[in-house]
Amino acid sequence: MKRPADVLSYVFDRLRLQGIFVSEWQTTTPWAIQGEQESCALLHYMIQGDAVIQMEGRDPVALHEGDLAMFPRGQGHAIGDALTSQPQELKNLLPERSAEKFSALQFGGGDRKGQMLCAGLHFESDGVRLIYQLLPPLMIVTAAQIETEPLLAHTLDGLKSELKVYGEGRNIVLVRGFELVYVLGLRVAMRDTDRFGRFSVALQHQGVGQALMAMHEDFARQWTLDSLAEEAGVSRSSFARTFKELVGETPRQHLVRRRLAEAQRLLSTTPLPLTDIAERIGYDSVVGLHLAFNHHFGITPGAYRKQHRASGTSVKQGVEA
């Protein structure tokens, strides 16, 4: 298997964006908003003013005028003009955030003005590659970095201009514009390996990146440390050491997570019997699937399927893995 030259296209190939909610925030200091964990990617584009982002267990991060903040997995966070500003709950200000809709908010204490464009990008969870989970919870693309990317800079300028247009099609223009901004922003961030974290380093590593993509595309194969090292083109000991350093877990642990993520998808979206699911994800028997699934998630495959049926999750016939 040849490693794709375009890593970003590989990551987004199956993401299948479904829709985006866009809102404009007109703020006056002091101001702060607290948002819960979301099941989508989140973006904040700081048009005017400055802000500080706070996430539990992490140091505060500054967001300056012209910067773009991206939360690939919808990490819950607070954002405001200062660390001491008392946050309002986003769910109270925007109780309904329907896809492909645009809303405008005005809030704050009445002093210095600021402006921010925010978006939530919804995607099908079934289409998320496990590698996507290696993205850091927050990435900042600075105004200086944006200026080096003409298409990203022009798209963001266009979104600002679109706020002044009230003709037909404004909502869809904002939606599609932010889809492009997200992909372009990630492309810029991937070049900054120090801030982008394990995801960029691992995938762009010549050997580990090749092995990661092979594992994700052919997860049912009976991979061994030797065969993965051969895929990477390095020695067994070198591969094992480098993989653990870059990915944060052993090749076997990562392969098991990839297989079980696919098992979750098949259990919740198809009526396939457990024997077929076990075979599709690389287990020789239902017992092996049962033990691994229960160990990893604390619930058996059968109970997991019943739980999703009870919660109203649709089970479709003929869905391919």
62 has pLDDT over 60: yes
* Least confident span in 41-45, 203-207, 308-312: 308-312
Report phi then psi at 109, rounded to 5. -95, -10
- For 2-7, what is the mean pLDDT? 54
Tell me the CATH number for domain 7-198.
2.60.120.280
Q: What is the pTM of this model?
A: 0.72
Query: Do residues 138 and 75 make contact, with C-beta atoms less than 8 angstroms apart?
Result: yes
Closest CA to 23 of 111, 118, 151: 118
7-198 against 207-310: fold identical:
no
Q: pLDDT-derived band of residue 99, with 50, 70 and 90 as boundaries?
A: low
pLDDT at position 131 is 64
> What local confidence, expressed as pLDDT, does residue 315 receive?
37
pLDDT of residue 205: 83
Tokens 């204490």 found at: 109
* Rounded CA separation 197/89 (Å): 30
* pLDDT recorded at residue 261: 87
CATH of 207-310, one of 3.10.105.10, 1.10.10.60, 1.20.120.1200, 3.40.50.300: 1.10.10.60
pLDDT band at 145 (very low <50, low <70, confident <90, very high): very high
In the three-class reduction of DSSP (H, G, I as helix; E, B as strand; rest coil), residue 201 is classed as helix
Query: Can you give the residue ranges of every domain in the chain?
Result: 7-198, 207-310
Model pLDDT for residues 252-287, shown as the tens digit of each residue: 999 999 899 889 989 988 999 999 999 999 999 999
Q: Rounded distance, CA 212 to CA 220, Å?
A: 14
pLDDT higher than threshold 90 for residue 150: yes
